[in-house]
């Protein structure tokens, strides 16, 4: 039994310690966001955030995650109450098939959390590990920019860092 | 009013509980005789499924369900179809539910392919919705005792000009289950549209960005087992043995399946299945033999027996050309490369099988699986659930076949089969390698006066259609043979799609060599032969323009008589700033135009590229495109598809080629088959949608592939002086042409 | 006798001091500019001022001479061998326009703009001035050049080859780009003091063939010691930053990587044959050593465009130097390495129950569990899928090296080809694993795959790497 902190909640999981997080999220915890795209750390469809860093959940065994904070796209908001990044992706209609999008969002969220005002070049460079086959990149970049600006404006108005 | 003879259908019976009154008649059970006498072609797919309630159902509570035989592939078709129905019925899109591709519930519309969804299904649904609305209006007129022209549909009700109102639910006590569609509909005037033609928010995006259940990969059925397959290491491999007994003892494994060379493992948990798959694969011994062409693959293909098809042969008298040019263009095998490897769930129970699949064609798949399992097809039920973008015939049907086989081996429990990345890469059917040879003559004024081209290609469609096109069936102990492929006839075409230039030319001779023998597995990849043929034509047109000393855009306009074609050309050129373009070192511009299949969407694109002289590294800097898809249902969806098509085509064009040695496919994952990443994405893409209200739907999804390739080649030639004709236009090839 | 040992696969292969147009680091951090260690040092001698600037040459001319295309082509090949592009091109910058920051222990040096731009490049330089820079380490104005520009190697290049290089450089695209001023600490900032360094450590002079050796060997020697400047990375340096001649090619540093010893001290389990080394340099991969990684990637990129005979000559020279190792027969080593590969299913064999139910699960080697769940996805025994697996880790130089630095670099950053290129992709694990976990898995890998003694400085080295990356 391993206890994982997923989206702020402690979840007990009965899986072998060397099981990659991706399968635990999907099969044990019923979370759909992180996706199987390659299982090899090449495509980023499985991207989640661990302790603030974007990681490939397909090559991260749960044995290394005790006491660490795991965030998935489900933790960013819900259909009824989407978070800023989700609202940005909906507003920009930043999806075609959408399979890569949850991974894209988690990678982007890690950047937004770490850097209040990334340049366009920094956003592009940061997103390199994630593939999109449909060619939705322009909209993904616009959505990220939109969320950065919204977060920036929010933190400017509240005078503090906004999560 | 006259009553058509009533035909009881199981569908109607099942669907109308609570709202249905069924009456029987001793009249003949089918109406075919009457129809045949008066039969006029019904709009779109109504012709295949003429009963209105096959498409539009109104429930007692007034909610609307729309049925389509098409599937959501990520192209936004669900949203567009809902919009069409909602518009004609006068309801809010949020009150419309859409059921897609399900062999027990929806019409059979074949494959979701060819950019035909709007033309086939959109037209059907639009017309069916309009006709259902008129039925409701007629009924309301009867109930209210007023003339029908005083009534219209609004907000899920029929409203009279005196304010009286009857909700839809009040009007369906009597079913219309037997009402057949008519050839003519009273469609809304496009000028009165409030939904269609406005930017619509996709109905599927909210779930996709919040972790909702959105894909076949997300389906979780009670008692579901996880399965993995072990595929042969090469096409011709046969399994000698594998350590089945020991793998069966691994933790969590419930069964190891073997039928001939088909090998799979079923386990309780997913990662257990993966571990067992590895052990099984490591223990397997195969007999292989070298069968893949080596060296000059294109010459090898051209040497194979082929069937010659004359696609165009028009002659007009005139002077001989003053100048003749000739060039040959080639394209490598290329992948669909769906980001999510194929997946399917099968459930075999009580001699019946249900398969959840992202196949593009659930009806053909059903028949194929039934044939493979030697079951009656009405005992097989295929339900479409979205996968990742497939861009054509990928491994979705094969995963479904695996799910069927494994489910039958585990009766009563759902079995989920997930292909691995390497399996999708090595066994998906590729877009075929092609050759296009073009020769054209210019008169003294620089006009094209003759055009002569030859193309070579394998089939672009080996879809199931029969168990023989399910890859797993080839490896069963009693295998099914892949049937000999047939060319897709023009005007659609396969390898010859878009091989006839859309320009108005006096002498045109186009020949296609259809090569049935397929050394690599091939099938339909987005735009089929159009990608290569438009690449060839539009590259060659630039070469002709240069020889004629003409501007590439003006040269094209000169040879186009279709005003809609000229409109997209002008729009793209203007948006790009073609006239005022300042060429700087290392930068070039290129243009291309095509009308998909010469009868579908019009598309033109202008691009700017940068070429790094020292390395040959090339990047699409910006693109400006214009598309005319007829009536634009969701302009934002159109734009999304066009942007995506441009980026994907850029990736194919600059990077992509399947690699193989004498025995095996070697481009097994993204490391060996690189595709565009964020570093390659342009600075901007502008898409002008030319809306044609009221015009037939022309589709959008495949329009950008070919023109983008040609525009890139033309821009590279503009930047460097180097004319490349072999796809992909890799940096090594570009550098090789630039030299030092 | 030595086994030439440039580098390796899944393990690093640092190389030329000139690292390339780096592939973008896709990991969770962006790589800070490379370190070129020990480029120079200063001997501060109060009052001594040797190597004063020599008088500038006669009035310059802005005339653009034309060059024979064959000469330009030859110059291109030589530039590929010398890997000029890698140092003289900023990340994301225009070719040869300089601006790349090279951190050194003495501060930062910026590689200069060597495009033929008149104002900001070397457009005014005559061939004689160009030659003097390569042969003597002096620029057009007569100023000393920092040996970050390895003229201690380039001095061996023949006049004719220098001429070809000149033809190539002068026909590149001129780019207006002012090179930023160096930011060096005192006394490194005093250029003239380099005269002392040269007097102590620099022997100008052309290559002299060894008559006892074959033509191919001599060609290889000429290239390796000269233009290819392998020793600039692969030779250790003294306190003054000069290469230690007595320890030639016995391992050095380049850009946060360790460039392994190429000769007797090479840690690679399988000795390099000339054929294997040729294949490695040409294709970036050898089945018994692995991939070119890190700074070696750009070197290999250049060698793809160089005449085959030159690459062969380099391979021949490096595998026949004194100190070449004679080890256990290669096939035995390879077989043993394959047998040692990690079998992820063995942990879950029929006779081993699932760990989750095992009370002692927590006491299992944490490093092994990490390896099983993170590394063995690709680094595993057998061929379960049609995949091109990495070479067995037991054959990897980085796992067998004296220094854990390269193994750590690869685990932290991963491996990535240039965008658009095919090439191994290994994810970086910097975010997924904590530093302790990285140490655990690297320690485990060393214990499992290498016969060499366990590293005792993994944690320290990782801390240094983190500092280098600005973390």
Could you read off the pLDDT of B421-438 as tens digits, one per residue?
Answer: 999 999 999 999 999 999
What pLDDT sits at residue B490? 97
Say if the Cβ atoms of B270 and A26 lie within 8 Å: yes
Copy the structure tokens of residue C31. Answer: 């790589």
Q: Is residue A31 part of a domain?
A: yes
Size of interface A-C (CB pairs under 8 A): 90
Name, in order, each residue with C-beta under 8 angstroms of C471's C-beta and a sequence gap of 6 or more: C29
Tell me the average pLDDT of chain B. 93
Rounded-to-10 torsion of CA B152, B156, B160, B166: 140
**Predicted interface score ipTM higher than 0.90:** yes
Partner-chain contact A1 C374, CB within 8 Å: no
State the pLDDT confidence band at B175, using cuts at 50, 70 and 90: confident
* pLDDT one-digit tens code per residue, B267-282: 999 999 999 999 999 8
What's the DSSP call for residue C30? Answer: P
Residue A162 lies in a domain: no
Instruction: Report whether pLDDT(B635) > 90.
Output: yes
* Predicted pLDDT at B716: 98
User: Is A140 part of any domain?
Assistant: yes
Q: Give the distance between the most distant pair of CA atoms in chain C.
A: 85
Specify the pLDDT at position A159. 58
Residue-wise pLDDT tens digits, B677-694: 999 999 999 999 999 999
Q: Is C403 on the interface with A (CB under 8 A)?
A: no
- Does residue C58 have a pLDDT over 70? no
Q: Give the chain B residue nearest C372 (alpha carbons).
A: B275
Q: Which strands, in side-by-side order, build the sheet including B684-689?
A: B587-595, B602-611, B618-628, B684-689
Tokens of A8: 């702020």
> CATH says C331-469 is which class?
mainly alpha
Q: Measure B625 CA to nearest chain A CA, in Å.
A: 14
Q: pLDDT class for B11, splitting at 50, 70, 90?
A: very low
Q: What digits encode the pLDDT tens for the residues A102-112?
A: 999 999 999 99
Write down the number of H helices and E strands in chain B. Answer: 19, 25
Q: What is the mean pLDDT of residues B4-27?
A: 38
pLDDT digits 0-9 by tens, A36-45: 999 999 999 9
Query: Which residue from B620, B645, B619 is spatially nearest to B699, judged by alpha carbons?
Result: B645
Residue C47 pLDDT > 80, yes or no? Answer: no
User: Is the predicted pLDDT of residue C384 greater than 90, yes or no?
Assistant: no
Q: So what's the pLDDT on residue C329?
A: 60
CB-based contact, B640 to chain A, within 8 Å: yes
B352-357 and B618-628: which strand pairing? unpaired
Q: How much is the average pLDDT of C103-111?
A: 85
Q: Does C302 touch chain B (CB under 8 A)?
A: no
- For residue A54, the surrounding DSSP H or E stretch is strand A53-56
What is the spatial distance between Cα B512 and Cα C123, in angstroms, rounded to a whole number? 55
Residue A126 lies in a domain: yes
Residue A56 lies in a domain: yes
* Number of domain units in chain A: 1
Q: What residues form DSSP beta bridges with B347?
A: B354
Residue B379: pLDDT over 70: yes
| Owning domain of residue A80 | 2-157
pLDDT of residue B335: 98
Mean pLDDT throughout B577-603? 96
Give the pLDDT band (50/70/90) at residue C350. Answer: low
pLDDT greater at residue B108 or residue C380: B108
Start-end of H helices in B41-151: 77-89, 117, 123-144
Nearest CA in chain B to A126: B678
Q: Which pLDDT value is given to residue C5?
A: 32
What value does the mean pLDDT take over residues C367-391? 80
Is B651 in CB contact (< 8 Å) with chain A?
yes
**B352: part of which helix (H) or strand (E)?**
strand B352-357
Return the pLDDT at C9.
34
- Determine the Cα–Cα distance for residues C4 and C224; give it in Å rounded to an integer: 12
For chain B, give the longest Cα–Cα distance: 86
For residue A1, name the pLDDT band (cuts at 50, 70, 90): confident
Helix residue ranges, H only, chain A: 21-23, 84-91, 101-114, 120-126, 137-158
B299-308, B397-406, C231-240, C342-351: which has the minimum mean pLDDT? C342-351
The reported pLDDT for the residue numbered B678 is: 98
CATH of the domain at A80: 3.10.20.30
| Banded model confidence at residue C380, pLDDT cuts 50, 70, 90 | confident
Is A48 within a domain? yes
pLDDT at B247 (0 to 100): 96
* Whole-angstrom distance, CA of residue B338 vs CA of residue B435: 25
Distance (Å, whole) CA A24 – CA A13: 8
Least confident of A123-132, B233-242, C261-270, C273-282: C261-270
| B9 vs A113: which has the higher pLDDT | A113
C-alpha triplet C303, C307, C313: angle, nearest 5°: 85
Q: How confident is the model at residue A161 (pLDDT cuts 50, 70, 90)?
A: very low
Give the distance from residue A84's alpha carbon to the nearest chain B alpha carbon, in angstroms: 11
Chain B residues with beta carbon closer than 8 angstroms to that of C386:
231, 233-234, 422-423, 426, 664-665, 668
The pLDDT of residue C271 is above 90: no
How far off is chain A from C379, nearest CA to CA, in Å?
A: 11
Q: What is the pLDDT, as a whole number, of residue C50?
A: 44
- Token readout for B209 is 């960005």
| Local structure of B165: helix, strand or coil | strand
Per-residue pLDDT, C471: 62
- Distances in whole angstroms, Cα of residue B398 to Cα of each of B229, B358, B483, C16, C20: 11, 11, 16, 49, 44
Q: What is the DSSP letter of B108?
A: -
Q: Residues 134..173 of C with a Cβ closer than 8 Å to A: which? A: none
Pick among C338, C382, C386 to test the B interface (most B CBs inside 10 A): C386
Calpha distance B439→B443 (Å, rounded): 14
Q: How far apart are CA B115 and CA B703, in angstroms?
A: 9
Do B210 and A77 count as a contact with CB atoms less than 8 A apart?
yes
B688-713 mean pLDDT: 97
Whether the pLDDT of residue B205 is over 90: the answer is: yes
Task: Answer yes or no: is A163 within a domain.
Answer: no
Q: Are residues A99 and B215, on separate chains, in Cβ contact within 8 Å?
A: yes
Q: Between these two residues, A160 and B178, which has the higher pLDDT value?
A: B178
- For chains A and B, count residue pairs whose Cβ atoms are closer than 8 Å: 180
Characterize the bridge pairing of strands C290-291 and C285-286. antiparallel
Domain range summary for chain C, segments of one domain joined by + = 1-329, 331-469
Lowest-pLDDT range, B344-348, B567-571, B580-584? Answer: B580-584
Question: Do the chains contact at A32 and B218, CB–CB below 8 Å?
Answer: yes
Q: Does B19 touch chain A (CB under 8 A)?
A: no
pLDDT at B82: 96
Distance CA B458, CA C372 (A): 44
Q: Is the dihedral of CA A96, A97, A98, A104 positive or negative?
A: negative
């Amino acid at each position: 039994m391993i206890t994982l902190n997923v989206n702020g909640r402690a979840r007990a999981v009965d899986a072998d310690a060397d099981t990659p997080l991706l399968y635990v999220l999907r099969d044990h915890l019923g979370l759909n966001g992180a996706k199987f795209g390659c299982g090899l750390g090449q495509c980023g469809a499985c991207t989640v955030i661990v302790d603030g860093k974007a990681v490939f959940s397909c090559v991260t065994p749960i044995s290394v995650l005790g006491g660490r904070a795991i965030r998935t796209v489900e933790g960013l908001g819900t259909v009824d109450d989407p978070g800023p990044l989700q609202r940005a992706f909906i507003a920009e209609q930043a999806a075609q098939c959408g399979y890569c999008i949850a991974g894209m969002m988690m990678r982007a969220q890690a950047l937004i959390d770490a850097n209040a005002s990334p340049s366009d070049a920094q956003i592009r460079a940061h997103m390199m590990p994630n593939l999109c086959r449909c060619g939705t990149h322009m909209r993904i970049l616009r959505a990220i920019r939109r969320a950065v600006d919204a977060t920036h404006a929010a933190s400017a108005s509240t005078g503090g860092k906004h999560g | 009013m006259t009553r058509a003879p009533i035909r009881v259908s199981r569908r109607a019976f099942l669907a109308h509980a609570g709202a249905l009154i069924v009456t029987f008649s001793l009249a003949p059970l089918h109406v075919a005789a009457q129809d045949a006498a008066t039969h006029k072609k019904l709009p779109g797919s109504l012709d295949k499924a003429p009963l209105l309630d096959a498409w539009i159902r109104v429930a007692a509570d007034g909610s609307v369900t729309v049925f389509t035989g098409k599937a959501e592939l990520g192209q936004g078709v669900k949203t567009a179809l809902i919009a069409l129905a909602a518009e004609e019925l006068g309801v809010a899109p949020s009150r419309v539910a859409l059921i897609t591709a399900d062999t027990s519930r929806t019409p059979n519309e074949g494959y979701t392919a060819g950019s035909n969804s709007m033309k086939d299904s959109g037209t059907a649904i639009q017309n069916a919705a309009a006709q259902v609305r008129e039925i409701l209006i007629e009924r309301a007129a009867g109930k209210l005792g007023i003339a029908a022209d005083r009534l219209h549909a609004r907000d899920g009700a029929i409203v009279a000009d005196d304010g009286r109102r009857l909700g839809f639910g009040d009007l369906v006590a009597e079913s219309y289950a037997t009402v057949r569609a008519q050839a003519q509909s009273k469609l809304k005037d496009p000028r009165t549209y409030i939904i269609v033609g406005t930017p619509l928010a996709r109905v599927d995006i909210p779930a996709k960005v919040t972790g909702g259940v959105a894909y076949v990969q997300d389906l979780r059925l009670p008692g579901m087992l996880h399965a993995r397959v072990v595929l042969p290491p090469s096409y011709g491999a046969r399994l000698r043995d594998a350590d089945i007994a020991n793998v069966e003892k691994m933790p969590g494994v419930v069964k190891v399946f073997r039928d001939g060379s088909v090998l799979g493992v079923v386990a309780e948990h997913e990662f257990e299945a993966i571990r067992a798959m590895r052990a099984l694969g490591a223990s397997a011994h195969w007999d292989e033999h070298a069968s893949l062409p080596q060296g000059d693959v294109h010459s090898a293909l051209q040497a194979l027996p082929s069937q010659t098809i004359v696609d165009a042969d028009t002659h007009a008298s005139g002077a001989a050309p003053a100048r003749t040019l000739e060039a040959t263009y080639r394209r490598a095998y290329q992948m669909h490369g769906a980001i999510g490897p194929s997946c399917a769930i099968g459930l075999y129970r009580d001699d019946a099988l249900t398969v959840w699949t992202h196949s593009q064609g659930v009806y053909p798949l059903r028949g194929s699986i039934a044939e493979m399992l030697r079951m009656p097809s009405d005992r097989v039920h295929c339900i479409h659930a979205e996968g990742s973008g497939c861009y054509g015939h990928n491994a979705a049907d094969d995963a479904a076949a695996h799910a069927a086989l494994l489910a039958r081996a585990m009766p009563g429990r759902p079995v989920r089969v997930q292909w691995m990345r390497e399996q999708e890469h090595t066994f998906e059917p590729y877009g075929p390698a092609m050759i296009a040879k073009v020769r054209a003559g210019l008169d003294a004024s620089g006009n094209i006066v003759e055009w002569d081209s030859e193309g070579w290609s394998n089939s672009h469609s080996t879809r199931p259609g029969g168990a023989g096109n399910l890859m797993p069936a080839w490896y069963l102990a009693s295998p099914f043979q892949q049937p000999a492929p047939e060319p897709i006839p023009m005007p659609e075409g396969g390898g010859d799609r878009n091989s006839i230039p859309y320009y108005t030319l006096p002498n045109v001779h186009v020949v296609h060599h259809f090569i049935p023998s397929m050394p690599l597995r091939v099938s339909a990849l987005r735009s089929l032969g159009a990608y290569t043929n438009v690449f060839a034509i539009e590259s060659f047109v630039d070469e002709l323009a240069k020889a004629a000393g003409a501007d590439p855009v003006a040269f094209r306009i000169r040879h186009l008589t279709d005003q809609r074609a000229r409109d997209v050309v002008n729009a793209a050129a203007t948006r790009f700033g073609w006239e005022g373009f300042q060429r700087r070192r290392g930068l070039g511009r290129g243009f291309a135009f095509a009308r998909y299949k010469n009868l579908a969407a019009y598309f033109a694109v202008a691009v700017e590229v940068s070429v790094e002289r020292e390395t040959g590294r090339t990047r699409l800097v910006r693109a400006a495109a214009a598309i005319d898809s007829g009536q634009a249902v969701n302009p934002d969806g159109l734009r999304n598809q066009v942007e995506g098509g441009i980026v994907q085509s850029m990736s194919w064009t600059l990077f992509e080629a399947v690699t193989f040695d004498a025995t095996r496919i070697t481009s097994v994952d993204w490391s060996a088959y690189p595709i565009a990443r964020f570093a390659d994405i342009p600075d901007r893409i502008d898409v002008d949608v030319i809306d044609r209200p009221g015009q037939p739907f022309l589709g959008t999804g495949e329009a950008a592939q070919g023109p983008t390739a040609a525009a890139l080649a033309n821009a590279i030639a503009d930047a460097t002086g180097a004319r490349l004709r072999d796809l992909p236009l890799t940096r090594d090839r570009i550098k090789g042409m630039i030299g030092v | 006798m030595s086994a030439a040992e440039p580098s390796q696969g899944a393990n690093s292969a640092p190389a030329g001091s000139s690292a390339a147009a780096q592939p973008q680091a896709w990991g969770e951090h962006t790589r800070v500019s490379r370190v070129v260690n020990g480029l120079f040092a200063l001997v501060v001698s109060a009052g001594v001022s040797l190597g004063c600037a020599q008088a500038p040459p006669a009035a310059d001319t802005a005339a653009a001479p034309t060059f024979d295309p064959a000469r330009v082509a030859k110059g291109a090949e030589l530039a590929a061998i010398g890997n000029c592009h890698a140092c003289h091109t900023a990340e994301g910058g225009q070719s040869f326009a300089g601006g790349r920051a090279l951190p050194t222990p003495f501060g930062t040096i910026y590689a200069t703009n060597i495009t033929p731009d008149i104002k900001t490049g070397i457009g005014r330089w005559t061939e004689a001035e160009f030659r003097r820079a390569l042969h003597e380490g002096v620029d057009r104005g007569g100023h000393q050049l920092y040996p970050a520009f390895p003229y201690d190697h380039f001095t061996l290049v023949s006049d004719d080859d220098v001429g070809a290089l000149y033809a190539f450089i002068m026909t590149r695209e001129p780019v207006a780009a002012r090179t930023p001023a160096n930011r060096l600490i005192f006394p490194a900032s005093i250029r003239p003091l380099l005269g002392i360094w040269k007097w102590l450590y620099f022997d100008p002079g052309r290559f002299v063939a060894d008559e006892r050796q074959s033509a191919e060997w001599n060609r290889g020697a000429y290239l390796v010691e000269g233009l290819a400047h392998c020793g600039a990375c692969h030779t250790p340096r003294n306190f003054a930053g000069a290469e230690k001649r007595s320890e030639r090619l016995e391992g050095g540093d380049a850009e946060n990587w360790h460039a392994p010893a190429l000769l007797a001290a090479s840690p690679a389990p399988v000795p390099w044959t000339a054929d294997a080394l040729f294949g490695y340099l040409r294709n970036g991969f050898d089945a018994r050593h692995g991939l070119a990684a890190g700074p070696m990637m750009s070197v290999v990129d250049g060698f793809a465009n160089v005449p085959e005979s030159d690459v062969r000559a380099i391979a021949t020279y490096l595998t026949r130097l004194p100190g070449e190792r004679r080890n256990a027969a290669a096939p035995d080593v390879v077989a043993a390495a394959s047998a040692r590969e990690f079998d992820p299913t063995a942990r879950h064999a029929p006779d081993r129950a699932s760990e989750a139910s095992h009370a002692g699960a927590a006491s299992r080697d944490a490093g092994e569990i990490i390896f099983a769940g993170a590394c063995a996805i690709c680094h595993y025994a057998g061929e379960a899928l049609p995949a091109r697996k990495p070479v067995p880790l037991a054959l990897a130089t980085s796992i067998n090296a004296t220094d854990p630095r390269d193994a750590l670099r690869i685990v932290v950053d991963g491996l990535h080809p240039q965008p658009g290129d095919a090439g191994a992709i290994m994810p970086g694990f910097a975010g997924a694993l904590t530093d302790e976990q990285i140490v655990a898995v690297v320690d485990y890998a060393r214990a499992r795959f290498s016969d060499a003694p366990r590293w005792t400085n993994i944690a320290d080295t990782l801390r240094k790497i983190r500092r280098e990356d600005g973390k």
